[in-house]
Chain A
Amino acid sequence: MIYLLSFVLILIGLYGVLTRHNIIKIVISLLVMEYGIHLFLVVQGYRTGGVPPIVDSGIEKELWLQQTVDPLPQALVLTSIVIGLGVLALMVALSIRLHQRCGTFDIRKIKKLRG
């Protein structure tokens, strides 16, 4: 159920990328898609009643190993979130430059790209 819901979030982003005409809307759709993918990856490492993967000295090792969630998807998604911020900055910079040249965010009106 939760897998399906996060997949729905990815599909909403895909739908937005395909149908919108405003560049900022396309950037926002990509952001929604990214959120869905992060959620999908992190949910795969979850354990019911799990504890965060941080060693606690007050708990026995074997018991802790049976309770903790998977740290690997979390580490990779952490990398992905920060890369997403960098890519978002690049996309916003490009759309601002495009707005300065063409005066609009509407991709149907930007004809100068045809050369």
Chain B
Amino acid sequence: MTEIIIIVLILLMIVGALVAIETPNLLHSVISVGAVGFLLSIVFLFLSAPDLAITQIAVEVVALVLLLRATIRCERDDPSPGHWLSAGRLAAMVMVIMLVIFSARMFAEFPEFGRPVIDRFADAPSNTYLRDGLEETGAANIVTAVLLDFRAYDTLGEATVLFCAVIGAISVLRPKAKKRLHEVDAEVEL
């Protein structure tokens, strides 16, 4: 039953993603991708991942605000990129179809849905985390225990990446850079 619900939700996500990519209006596109993100949050809830559902729904709200800030004051229309069967599109379609063909073998070897990897390998790290997580760290939420105790180096790297991305965004948009850019423009025009 859960599988059918998840399949229906993913089909809705695919429809939303296609609308987001194909519609000519940028505002409609942003709203469609927001719908895809909220559907993904519901799928996480059905996949027994409440941490991910909470994070996804909060991140999606902030991402929508970011994208709306970018599109709301500019031209909203994406002029149609030529004929629907142009050379570039054809090449992209061929590449995507080739990827599907080559990955068919990979999907044939996948386990069926609902059988996690930790069942097949008894010494998988996840089994240790689940068995000894509460005793070793004292945290009942094993996902947090993995994030901040067993694999805290990953979280440190993540904090570094977030720090760099924020510094990059702020320095790209800082007001002083404009003057310098205009000076560069003036020099180029001279």
Interface residues, chain A, CB within 8 Å of chain B? 1-9, 11-16, 18-22, 24-25, 27-29, 31-32, 35, 38-39, 42-55, 65, 68-72, 74-79, 81-90, 92-97, 99-101, 104-106
Contact = CB atoms under 8 A, between A and B. Distances in A.
A12 B18 contact: yes
Interface in B5-23: 6-7, 10-11, 13-14, 17-18, 20-21
A71 B181 contact: no
A48 B14 contact: no
B112 to A, nearest CB: 9
Contact of A29 (B21, B56, B69, B125): B21
B107, B116, B155: residue with the most chain A Cβ atoms closer than 10 Å = B116
Nearest to B86: A19
Nearest to A83: B161
B21 A16 contact: yes
Interface string B114-155: 111111000001110111011000001111001100010011
Interface string B14-51: 10011011000010011001001100100110011111
A85 B67 CA distance: 11
Interface string B153-174: 0110010011001101110110
B99 A11 contact: yes
Contacts of A43: 47, 113
A100 B78 CA distance: 17
Contact of B2 (A48, A83, A84, A89): A48
Interface residues of B, number: 90
Contacts of B52: 38, 42, 74, 77-78, 81
Contact of A81 (B55, B81, B113): B55
A22 B73 CA distance: 15
B92 interface: yes
Nearest to B93: A15
Given A81-B52, A89-B166, 6 more contacts: A15-B21, A27-B67, A31-B37, A70-B118, A83-B158, A83-B161
Contact of A39 (B40, B70, B140): B40
Contact of B17 (A12, A45, A53, A81): A12
A25 B78 contact: yes
Contacts of A70: 116-118, 126
B62 interface: yes
B183 interface: no
Contacts of B116: 44-47, 69-70
B49 A69 contact: yes
B22 to A, nearest CB: 9
